[in-house]
Structure 1
């Protein structure tokens, strides 16, 4: 990866930083259990919002990134796709990405936990990453990203 462009502290948006990604699911208890049992996520906070149940979930060793579950009836569910290439033809949310030290080890553990894996791992030299994809039971895709040896930031 190339060096990042210079930061812009004079921007009126200079306080922007990543916090969470929201994932809409039909079943709160099942989704919370899946993220906790399959990915070892931790529950930070739970609260109601109208007819929905919401929660912030944190990865096992990261307090700065959250998945926000937004759960309740879903009158317009997304199509569940089995192919990364086909998924790239759809507009809107495509996936969230989590960094891992070893894509193959993480993928093997996901497989042992019965997680739906999508395709095979692959490398993109332009971004110095090894990648693999899987999905939750509601079709939300998640990318595993490993920095290739010798890669910069």
Structure 2
């Protein structure tokens, strides 16, 4: 059996994963600082948020599992940061280029973080994006999901920004609420549900 070389696909895959994990760990500290600034800038953080953090701190291993962020590989990091800022109100928290040529922009809105990641030569292997529900025929993570209190207001805001809606406040009787779907500047599907 031949030993793995640096050009072997397995080696490249493992190396890329390790580099990305290291990059995310570097950004973790910046994210924690951003979260701390959010608490400092608010007059009184919600009691439930404080309780959740206290409970999570007391748990070990997977009992303390919480969502940290979502990472999206993008073709143009400047255009992607601008799209999420202009259309969904995200704010850039941190941006870094790592020695491997990977560039990461950490954006945040209401305590939710997204890593927009760019590496030269990336490509979209999905082909032509399918409209819901046919988008589910490609396995894997399929869309980014948000809640809002007033979906029709959110729809109007998105349309005023030029965002083309796929489903506009479409009522889904099985779940008893409505959803709007649209795509970001890279074709990634985003769903906004109305909280009820």
TM-score (norm 1): 0.79
* Structure with a larger share of its residues in helix: 2
Aligned to 2:142: 94
Aligned CA-pair RMSD: 2.0
Alpha-carbon distance in structure 1 between the residues aligned to 2:174 and 2:85: 33
Runs of 4+ in 1 over 6 A off after TM superposition: none
- 1:72 is displaced (CA, Å) by 3.0
Please, which of 154, 169, 193 is the counterpart of residue 121 of structure 1? 169
Aligned with 1:24 (options 53, 63, 73)? 73
Match of 2:35 in 1: none
- Structure-2 residue corresponding to 1:6: none
The residue aligned with 1:44 is 93
- Decide which of 137, 144, 148 is 2:192's aligned counterpart: 144
Residue 118 of structure 1, CA deviation: 1.3
Alignment coverage as a number of residue pairs: 137
Return closer, same or farther for 1:74/1:109 CA change in 2, 3 Å cut-off: farther
Structure of higher RCO (CA pairs closer than 8 Å, 6+ residues apart): 1
User: Where does residue 178 of structure 2 map in the other structure?
Assistant: 130
Q: TM-score, normalised by structure 2?
A: 0.63
- What's the offset of the Cα at 1:79? 2.9
In terms of Rg, which structure is larger?
2
| Long gaps (5+) in structure 1 | 1-8, 149-153
Change (3 A) 1:105 1:58: same
Give the distance between the partners of 1:74 and 1:85, measured in 2 at CA: 30
